[in-house]
Structure 1
């Protein structure tokens, strides 16, 4: 199965059992603290997230798979390059994983092919594939199946692949030998906690999603809390900061697939170029991308915050600021009230009144 998985572009597979009862108290406590924010789906299924056999009746074990996503042209000093882009306030930055094809589609189809290959070998097989698409304790299952350990930022870490990878699962109705879990290798390092711009990692292994830039720019549909807007900088979709500083990501692997190569339209570029997209351009340029699901209005909201931050920055010259103010004013009266409010906020950063 490992050979079949590698042929499909997976870096590693493992097998976990279905008893995740020891994870239930932590999940319930996290939900009780409201750390899931607007992500009501996190609570909607109750403890089915921690009970694979309830989510998919008949499940006996879970096969987990890891797929690296760094684009094929990623330079050796990629983390430093990405960090430098965050210091260019007039440039918009999309999280590395989202610059190529939608990973949901890539993993789902390949997991299905892997399941079919297993079925061809063992006979009729009850199964269901998942990739960040259902109430699944994904990182916990991956950790239990030997894929790595939970870092202090809550992401999974691998000694062989850092954290720049996607996870997927196949729930199976046949018993496979479970993989041996690995131990944690974070030691005393707290680089990820210190690097988080908004302080979302409130303790080792505990994330308040309501403060996380990935949550705020992707999952959160309403206004971004005003106190957090300056902390977003020029991040317009997702955030990689906790991964950029992680020592284990010196081992992050380059993807073997062209799917995750950065599209020219989504590579870091001037904020004004992103802001210029009307809805038709947004839909065309994000077709087949995970970004498309946030919609044009939320995209404009995110870029407006980044423009407001750029207008406050001494690194942006007067000519650029004048162009930004003009571009913002052109969308001052859009129909969406959330976008309107963020445009007004952005203009206020330059001392402009509406």
Structure 2
């Protein structure tokens, strides 16, 4: 059995991790660490675990003392909080899967620019593997430090990579209009995510300044053979609990039909169980509660633009589900283990 620990276990992503790991046939969770809920039983925090997860949450000091007892550490904390605990875990031979942003960007300068903090573990940046499973599977198999992607980047990079790999679009023309459910803002108290503040409304936020922008550009640039990719990225908050819909626009470099692109995408992702290329258009309700990414493609012949739309559950494929998918690969398991779940309707 794989022995796991979760730091940040009571946030939304941490809770979703607990859900998947509880039902995982190859994993035992040795501790659930929480800053705000230490010494409180997990099923008293989330009553859906009543009689299932009765362990009491531990504080950070206790979690650190237990690192030598585990094989893999999941960290689901805000940026800037993972440096010391990651270094400690790696020194003890523990694999680390960080769901935060501290190891996603390869440039310490970009990290400081976008997150407003000095990077305290620069020596680990070259060792961290960006964990977008479908694109980095071979590197993930051998890594000890995995940077789990952000939710907007997961949906957007999966949507655009086949176009860039095949040199089909003008890399200066990419516009991304993305929408997220309120759980993407986290569980902490915030006026902007209160029910009466966001219900019956939709709003753009962090326009031209969202911290996921350099992460998306970094990985899209890796996919392109034509140089650095810059995007225009605008996220929106919509009044639903879960889900991301990323609508990606770009100019085509040659004439190609939607049917040809759908065929190209299906071939590109033919070995990727969780990416489904649709003949129609995706909706968040059809991926909610699953580790799936649905992608739809349209061509606007009038403007010579391609529109690629992808949908994921931000807490699963955009966070905890992808983290478990990566853990499965890191430990030589079938990557669908514990994750083969169809979205529930309605």
Fold match, TM over 0.5?
no
Q: Which has the higher contact order (CA 8 A, sep 6+)?
A: 1
TM-score by length of 1: 0.26
Q: Mark the structure with the bigger radius of gyration.
A: 1
Higher helix share: 1
Higher strand share: 2
